[in-house]
Structure 1
């Protein structure tokens, strides 16, 4: 297999293969892979009715689940296993579902080591609960939003964003990062995330058929923005959400309004993983996920 880099030219070729699958993990989306391609050196190969995605982690090549119909999955996984053998590389999968783990355990007994990657589990929420924030469990979120609405009444605007607003978005990112630096919270992932955001902005003219970007202006200044898209007809995927942390209620408000305005019918919302970051985990759990997309790493023994 000869792999091509995932770039804007590959989007048209790959999109039909994303449509073949119903995976709920954030990795199985062109914009996710494109956004992080520079970090993981992600590549793809188109086979007979399937696509294989490979990337690098700490110098080792790994594969995520192939993009293939369910009935073809066993055949394609065996194809990937043979690829690793031919390349004289240890077989290495990431982002693997429990279902595929069970298949590998049955077909390749004692060949692999399986690791549950809790830090990479995607958080899945009930869409209606996120839009209404009803019930006792969400009373704190409602209180924060009510404070925001009262404090900034008549001074804010929620709207969709486009190329004319992206400089403002980058200014939000700059201020957000500065705050993180002051609290010694800046990580390599944050720096790489900014590169990825800029890539999405630079190619928005093409990506806008799927990618949705919205923000909140207060007194004429952008204070929060978010990006998302439909992962499938029944699930929204939220890639990015940044806001001024010193404005009480702004985070829960843009979170809610983005879903109310742009994803008003989805049953589920995927807000991606927490990467093991304590504050991020606490924030994601505070919205009461209904389930997780469990992910496993599989390595040849």
Structure 2
């Protein structure tokens, strides 16, 4: 913890922080998708994200949200509600370095309300949590669409699932370039930032301890998935990309990645839908086991 500067100073995260931050996260586990070292590291070049500070015995991590400006994630330590109360006290208000706290979940939200705070639920930011076995087996009428799309891919594409490796990295980067050209990533700041983050994940894949897999078609990578451990029961999927011109590949990489790469995990966090209608329909179509209802506490 002493490696982070004392609040209100912040500094950039580096790879050297991985071990101690990971140990801290293991000590204070969470379900929110943002709070892994890998996520913090790969998003460090996006405006005010991934800056580190400490207040008493808690880690503070800046996390800019497009709608809310510069926030911090919920403090990591034994008493986050008390820390939030102290950070917003009259004595510290003049040096308040952020607009609020993002990623508040229960029971922290309940601990804050008696102290006069009113966290607000943000539906667009809720994480979707699935039973891994549901995503692997796709049993029953509710998964008819996914099975149908996978069957079409199987009949029309000569495909193979492979674990991620350094030998496949260049092909994965090429797939991302193609995907961004089709989706016009440069027209949107967040899409452009996600492009940078995915490339960071690929270039630092081994150092970050990521879990990944690809689907090749005729020997060429046409879909990829990259995630990591979130907590002892849950893996989080940070990226899932597929050639949009090849029908059924998204369904294939989702199922195959869960089957082959996520042994030992009970749940899969597939992150939020950011309010995008098509993404919300797709995530709801996989029938989540539950949501992580992330809340925000604005100060300004």
TM above 0.5, yes or no, is yes
Q: Deviations over 1:26-79 (max 9, x none)?
A: 01101111121211332122455432222445695422111124xx33443344
**Aligned pair partner of 1:172 in 175, 179, 185:** 175
Query: Counterpart of 1:51 in 2: which secondary structure?
Result: strand
- 1-side partners of 2:105 and 2:141: how far apart? 33
Q: Do the aligned partners of 1:90 and 1:299 also contact (CA within 8 Å) in 2?
A: no
Alignment of 1:206-245 (within 5 A): 206-207=207-208, 210-245=209-244
Q: Deviations over 1:123-147 (max 9, x none)?
A: 1111111110001100111111122
Q: TM-score scaled by structure 2?
A: 0.88
- 2-side partners of 1:193 and 1:91: how far apart? 23
- 2-side partners of 1:237 and 1:11: how far apart? 17
Q: Paired residue for 1:289?
A: 288
1:142 and 2:157 correspond: no
**Aligned pair partner of 1:92 in 93, 96, 100:** 100
Q: Paired residue for 1:38?
A: 45
Q: Do the aligned partners of 2:237 and 2:268 also contact (CA within 8 Å) in 1?
A: yes
Q: Paired residue for 1:53?
A: 61
Q: Do the aligned partners of 2:122 and 2:295 also contact (CA within 8 Å) in 1?
A: yes
Shift of 1:90: 7.0
**Aligned pair partner of 1:131 in 133, 136, 158:** 136
Query: Counterpart of 2:182 in 1: which secondary structure?
Result: helix
Q: Paired residue for 2:35?
A: 28
Shift of 1:293: 0.7
Q: Do the aligned partners of 2:234 and 2:265 also contact (CA within 8 Å) in 1?
A: yes
- 2-side partners of 1:74 and 1:104: how far apart? 6
Flag the 1:174–1:19 CA change in 2: closer, same or farther, 3 A.
same
- 1-side partners of 2:76 and 2:200: how far apart? 24
- 2-side partners of 1:188 and 1:284: how far apart? 23
Q: TM-score scaled by structure 1?
A: 0.88
Query: Counterpart of 1:19 in 2: which secondary structure?
Result: helix
User: Please, which moves more after superposition, 60-69 or 131-140?
Assistant: 60-69
Shift of 1:103: 1.9
Q: Do the aligned partners of 1:228 and 1:237 also contact (CA within 8 Å) in 2?
A: yes
Q: Do the aligned partners of 1:45 and 1:52 also contact (CA within 8 Å) in 2?
A: yes
Query: Counterpart of 1:214 in 2: which secondary structure?
Result: strand
Query: Counterpart of 2:259 in 1: which secondary structure?
Result: helix
Query: Counterpart of 2:172 in 1: which secondary structure?
Result: helix
Q: Do the aligned partners of 2:128 and 2:269 also contact (CA within 8 Å) in 1?
A: yes
User: Please, which moves more after superposition, 236-245 or 6-15?
Assistant: 6-15
Q: Paired residue for 2:75?
A: 66
Q: Do the aligned partners of 2:120 and 2:295 also contact (CA within 8 Å) in 1?
A: yes
1:5 and 2:8 correspond: no
